[in-house]
Structure 1
């Protein structure tokens, strides 16, 4: 079994007259977070952690902020792409640990609901999601929110029972081989296969 660790970070400034979304959770607050998408810094940091764990680049590689089509985009879309990337190379999430740093709103009262939302988006047990809130004491970032994320991945292996079944599978005998060869040699009607003819005249297309 192979293990991977990913580290994610993101920060956004607070901005009036925009909705506040953190961890896929809409929060009632007078200010939201400025950003090219919906400003969800937690999902952005999780996305970067997942992509980094499998050396797939970062969120800007897939969704550049210079591309207008991602303006106001839902950050759950970014997260789904990162989940596809880790699954593609054969990994799954073990657990995730998140730290949110901001003066307001207070994260501790929201942490339970936020953990459930993140767990649902990641399709993992809520007990494998940790979200902690901290205040930026001694730091000059009153109008900024910061997120740090660490994720642990493990490789996906076939269960041992599947391996045993494959190892001890019966080898084909001569009768099996003869039957297979006869099936291949038998002529078959292939007229129904292949691309169908168009139902309209393509010359009419403009």
Structure 2
């Protein structure tokens, strides 16, 4: 069998290095757990490996005491590929070695991709290039041509050399290796007391193995400084997908002296039949937001059969739906509501309703539109038997893993 064909049958594992503290990025939270567009950096970094069919298992090396942060970051992700995390060492070199040892304990033997958790923009194409490069040798790394002139300086800051730029490259991750040679290089370096290797390719070079290169990706940046996070956040904002959801609710009138509309109590000659407070406006808006998430409807989350919701204030329902949007890293762009009834008159309360909806949803007043109409004396609303509301929600959500 040709070597390349044999390599293509090897299993693939990804080892994500997430044990660092990332102090240069600022803040008290390690940078791999800081949020970008509502999701931790680590979750962004894991997503492409989870989506890559060729990757059969993923192991993450985390820092001591980061178990809870890690669990929160990966909550809801596929448990099929994710192995239990491994606690890293004092250096990156130590952390990778511990991750490799954990894979060896599972009898893994194939191709391993080593990736830094602080690189959240790794693409499927780059992973594919890494795997393809691993077919032709024991080690391969993604590189980019150096565009700036590089100087080597001495201890006093004076230039001692200007290396030829055409012989220099910058290096990224994921780096691809055959597992056993890489593990052997790590173990040999540890046994020799050698430390300070800044990437795994350097270890393979030290062990005497040739290291090939393949084209990297300029977008595959490493988050290091506070400005990097600002740039990354702006970039992810542009990767949000727009979704539109609709909602509809209706309630019949009954005895009473008020109705609730959009979180505002309005005096009326009748009340409404409802399990909760019967706010058709907030119910319709709640369904519209849940629709953008494809997460059922208001009855799914607040069933009328559950006594705890009897007489409940409907602002809780809308706040819940808005919270679900935020939890997914989404943004509510606009809420558009139409109320249909012969009475009570909505116009005098329009501003109060808009303000209350904006407050509950946590958005600006300019993102809430309220319209009211009658049904020209036709149908149940025209006969004054009840009232209805129709809502449209426009949100932006990150692409899902």
**Partner SS for 1:60:** helix
Contact conserved, 1:92 with 1:156, CA < 8 A, in 2? no
**Partner SS for 2:379:** coil
Deviation at 1:144, TM superposition (A): 1.2
Structure number with greater Rg is: 2
- Partner Cα distance (1:96, 1:79) in 2: 12
| Structure with more contact order per residue of length (Cα contacts < 8 Å, sep ≥ 6) | 1
Deviation at 1:155, TM superposition (A): 2.9
Q: How does the TM-score come out when normalised to structure 2?
A: 0.38
For residue 100 of structure 1, the aligned residue among 308, 315, 339 is 339
- Partner Cα distance (1:45, 1:57) in 2: 13
For residue 360 of structure 2, the aligned residue among 116, 121, 124 is 121
Kindly tell me the number of residue pairs found equivalent between the two proteins: 157
Moved over 2 A (4+): none
Would you say 1:154 and 2:393 are equivalent positions? no
Deviation at 1:14, TM superposition (A): 1.2
Would you say 1:131 and 2:373 are equivalent positions? no
What's the C-alpha RMSD, in Å, of the aligned pairs? 1.5
Deviation at 1:51, TM superposition (A): 0.4
CA deviations on 1:89-143 (whole Å, 9 max, x unpaired) are 2211101111000000111221111111111111111111111010011522121
1:77 alignment counterpart: 316
CA deviations on 1:134-167 (whole Å, 9 max, x unpaired) are 001152212110100001001369xxxxxxxxxx
Taking a change above 3 Å as real, the CA distance of residues 85 and 42 of structure 1, as seen in their structure-2 partners, is: same
Contact conserved, 2:350 with 2:370, CA < 8 A, in 1? yes
Q: How does the TM-score come out when normalised to structure 1?
A: 0.72
1:166 alignment counterpart: none
2:282 alignment counterpart: 43
Taking a change above 3 Å as real, the CA distance of residues 18 and 37 of structure 1, as seen in their structure-2 partners, is: farther
2:171 alignment counterpart: none
- Flag structure 1 segments of 5+ consecutive residues without an equivalent: 158-206
